[in-house]
Amino acid sequence: MKKIALLGSTGSIGQQTLDIVASNPDLFSVEVLTANNNANLLIDQALKFMPNVVIIGNETKYPEVKEALSELPIKVYAGCDAIAQVVEMGSIDTVVTAMVGYSGLLPTIRAVKAGKQIALANKETLVVAGDLVTRLAMEYRAEILPIDSEHSAIFQCLVGEADNSVEKIILTCSGGPFHGKSAEQLSKVTVKEALKHPNWDMGAKITIDSATLMNKGFEVIEAKWLFGLKPEQIDVVVHPQSIIHSMVQFCDGSIKAQLGLPDMRIPIQFALGYPIRIKNSLARFNFTDHVTFTFTTPDTKNFRNLALSYEALNKGGNLACVLNASNEITVKAFLNEKISFTEIAKINEQVMEMVPFVGHPELNDYMESDKSARIYAEEVIQKRLKTNI
Ligand code: MG
């Protein structure tokens, strides 16, 4: 029986993780549930899964959660510090990090230092501080298992290949809803259009990141740290069918791929069950339903975020952290209809030039860089709003 702490239980990955737990009560139990804001769903989940501890990030919602669970033997806490602390609990085997954005960094570092197994869905942790987090994971012998579908695919292709050398990996990319659109067309994209992903059903932040190719850029960075690769060993290919989830090319030219229907429950289940594959009754892929697989090069000219990620990887230091922080602000501004779709990448690029470069950042430097990138991004947005009026 594996005991799980699920950080970000009310989001898309969090809910699907609980689906897997519910389908496999003899394999998994929930020790901790945390959510940022959605108190109602957190309460429902706590009543169903009976964890030992429940934490709500937003402290103003504490009384509501506490009251709803007061009759039960569940400890209720609130705030980000509590979330970062709880991962150290002795009874936890695996920490599933499914929260959104930068907020995943500190709890993940605490979990790594406590030597916990990490099932990593919060890719921003490795984007922001991949160097630090992977160094700590080695030092504290904390295993990091990817949940991101592309990285799960690569991880699955690498099983049994420990002694063999990888030439490169090929991350597949659906291209998002706007693949093939011109700069002119992209500048007029609405929030509603951007929130419709052709293949995957995900949260709002990652859906916009998929549409701008920021998500793919982050995945390139995530792959570098997870698999110890050089930037030039990571290719991206647009595969709109989203059936091949990614590939590994070995030193003999052989390519291994992992395929399946786009359903996040498969990579979540693989991470939770690893090294065992767990039988399930999810829908199966059928080759005769998908007779055409296509592959094209991503458009890094009109989708600048992908190019910015390679730039951040090549230059290293705090640049990816800055890109992530700026992007959290610009995506929010786009969702609030303050900036256009194409301004997301434009402002990200500006902010990368504004924040002072730190070559070998430690945790404090990352925290500082994150803070100043957010301030600069807000400033650029305010300036643009003023000139647009
Ligand atoms: Mg992915």
Interval between CA 246 and ligand 1 midpoint (Å): 10
* Cβ atoms of 108 and 125 closer than 8 Å: yes
**Mean pLDDT for the stretch of residues 139-153:** 98
Higher pLDDT, 36 or 203: 36
Interval between CA 97 and ligand 1 midpoint (Å): 14
Interval between CA 385 and ligand 1 midpoint (Å): 32
Interval between CA 210 and ligand 1 midpoint (Å): 9
Interval between CA 343 and ligand 1 midpoint (Å): 23
What is the residue-averaged pLDDT of the chain?
Answer: 96
Report pLDDT for 199. 75
Percent of the chain with pLDDT over 90: 94
Interval between CA 137 and ligand 1 midpoint (Å): 22
Q: Answer yes or no: is pLDDT of 389 > 70.
A: no
**Cβ-proximal residues to 278 (8 Å cutoff; 6+ apart), any chain:** 24, 27, 269, 272
Q: Answer yes or no: is pLDDT of 98 > 70.
A: yes
Interval between CA 151 and ligand 1 midpoint (Å): 7
Interval between CA 174 and ligand 1 midpoint (Å): 10
pLDDT band (50, 70, 90) for residue 204 = confident
Quickly list DSSP for 330-380: HHHHHHTTSS-HHHHHHHHHHHHHHSPP-SS--HHHHHHHHHHHHHHHHHH
Element (H, E) at 16: helix 12-23
In this chain, the answer to whether the domains covering 2-146 and 316-389 adopt an identical fold is no
Measured distance CA(222)–CA(30) in Å, rounded? 27
Interval between CA 360 and ligand 1 midpoint (Å): 28
Interval between CA 167 and ligand 1 midpoint (Å): 21
Interval between CA 135 and ligand 1 midpoint (Å): 23
Interval between CA 363 and ligand 1 midpoint (Å): 26
pLDDT band (50, 70, 90) for residue 198 = confident
Question: What is the side-by-side strand order in the sheet with 144-146?
Answer: 75-78, 53-56, 28-35, 2-7, 94-97, 117-120, 144-146
- Locate the domains of the chain by residue range: 2-146, 149-306, 316-389
**Mean pLDDT for the stretch of residues 243-247:** 98
* Cβ atoms of 100 and 122 closer than 8 Å: yes
**Mean pLDDT for the stretch of residues 154-181:** 96
Measured distance CA(59)–CA(78) in Å, rounded? 5
Does the domain formed by 2-146 have CATH 3.40.50.720?
yes
Interval between CA 39 and ligand 1 midpoint (Å): 27
pLDDT band (50, 70, 90) for residue 246 = very high
Measured distance CA(62)–CA(239) in Å, rounded? 44
Q: Is 331 exposed, middle or buried, given 0-12, 13-18 or 19+ CB atoms closer than 10 A?
A: buried
Provide the 3-class DSSP secondary structure of residue 5. Answer: strand
The identity of residue 122, as a single letter, is N
When the candidates are 3.20.20.100, 1.10.3720.10, 3.40.605.10, 1.10.1740.10, the CATH number that belongs to 316-389 is 1.10.1740.10
Interval between CA 7 and ligand 1 midpoint (Å): 18
**Mean pLDDT for the stretch of residues 311-337:** 97
| 51-57, long-range: CB < 8 A, 24+ apart | 52/89, 52/91, 53/77, 53/86, 53/89, 55/79, 55/82, 55/83, 55/86, 57/83, 57/103
Residue-wise pLDDT for 207-226, tens only, equals: 999 999 999 999 999 999 99
Report pLDDT for 301. 96
Percent of the chain with pLDDT over 70: 99
Residue-wise pLDDT for 254-300, tens only, equals: 999 999 999 999 999 999 999 999 999 999 999 999 889 999 999 99
Interval between CA 389 and ligand 1 midpoint (Å): 37
**Cβ-proximal residues to 180 (8 Å cutoff; 6+ apart), any chain:** 299
Measured distance CA(192)–CA(200) in Å, rounded? 16
| Residue whose tokens read 């049994």 | 160
Interval between CA 23 and ligand 1 midpoint (Å): 23
Give the CA count within 13 Å in the CB-facing half-sphere of 300. Answer: 12
Report pLDDT for 186. 96
Report pLDDT for 388. 72
